[in-house]
Structure formats: structure tokens, C-alpha cells
Amino acid sequence: MKKMTTKPNILLTRIDNRLIHGQVGVTWVNHLGANLVVVANDKVSQDEVQQSLMDMVLPDVIQARYFSIQKTIDIIHKASPKQKIFLVVKDVHDALALKQGGVPIDHINVGNMHYEEGKKQISSTVSVDDKDIEAFKKLADMGVTLDVRGVPNEKGQDIRALIKEFPI
């Protein structure tokens, strides 16, 4: 007898402040075999222009949904098992809010966190400040694997090895 599960089929969660762009829309989607990209971000869930621009990057056979953090938490467990979900968030704080809200995130691909004033660069594509480090620590304490990698064929690096303040 088959056991019924309500766990959504989340193939991967990616932090990328660019959200959906060429790398995400083509390379990662194809690599994962995803048929649905869920962008969880409060601002983008309200911005139809940005949504349209991101939709243009995706192949026609891939669907995209743009939800606020709370709506993602509320409905992710209603996803059909046929939905192979690639979950994309803008920053580590959105990822932490989802995890704390009960979204079953076990692995996060840290793809892109742009450098800005007050942040320090820890890899070619990832810059963090103290608040980011604290959020990454909380995720790690919750058992989430944190893998820094731009594209699928790159060798990933554990973010804990890149952040010196991170107790391993």
C-alpha cells in the first residue's frame, strides 16, 4: 500500500538575488528536470513587469509562480507530486523565513549574493554581512546543506568553509 505524502517535490532551493535569469531559466531548470519554478519573494510577487521579464527567460514548457513568502509557506504543501519544483529566493533571509515557516528545505544552492556596501566577498559570486552569516548559521543549525555554486557542473563549496566566523 502506498503511503500518502504531502511533502512537495522541491528539487532544489537556490538563493540568487537576480531570481530568474539565463543561468536559472535554462541551465538549472534543465539540469534538475524541473517543470515549475516558484519564486518566493514579497516584492516580486507584487511586480507584474518583473514577472513578465522573468517569464521570457524560461522555456515554454516550464511554468513559473511568484508568491510572497507567507503565501509560499501557506500553499507549498498543496503542490501536486507531479510538480517538480525549483524554488528560487532573493536572499538568505527569505530562505530562512521559508524554512522556519515549515517549507521542507534540506539543501540550498547559494548562487548569487551581490556585493554591496558593508558586505564582504567570500566567493566570486557571494558577498555577506553579519546578518547574512547569522541567517546561514541558523539554517545550518536546522540541518540545511548550504552549497555555493554558480552552475550545476561546478564543484560546490560548503559555505561554512568560506565564512571564517562560521564554527564548523
Share of the chain above pLDDT 70, in %: 95
41 or 168, higher pLDDT? 41
Confidence band for 5, pLDDT divided at 50, 70 and 90? very low
Q: pLDDT per residue over 93-136, tens digit each?
A: 999 999 999 999 999 999 999 999 999 999 999 999 999 999 99
CATH match of 10-162 with 3.40.35.10: yes
Instruction: For the full predicted model, state whether its pTM sits above 0.85.
Output: yes
Q: Where are the domains of the chain?
A: 10-162
Question: Nearest to residue 110, comparing CAs of 53, 50, 166, 63?
Answer: 166
Confidence band for 13, pLDDT divided at 50, 70 and 90? very high
> What residues does 10 pair with on adjacent strands?
85
Is residue 93 part of the annotated active site? The answer reads no
Phi, psi of 92 (to 5 degrees): -65, -25
Catalytic residue of the set 21, 31, 93, 107: 21
Does the pLDDT value for residue 23 go beyond 80? no
Rg (CA), the chain: 15
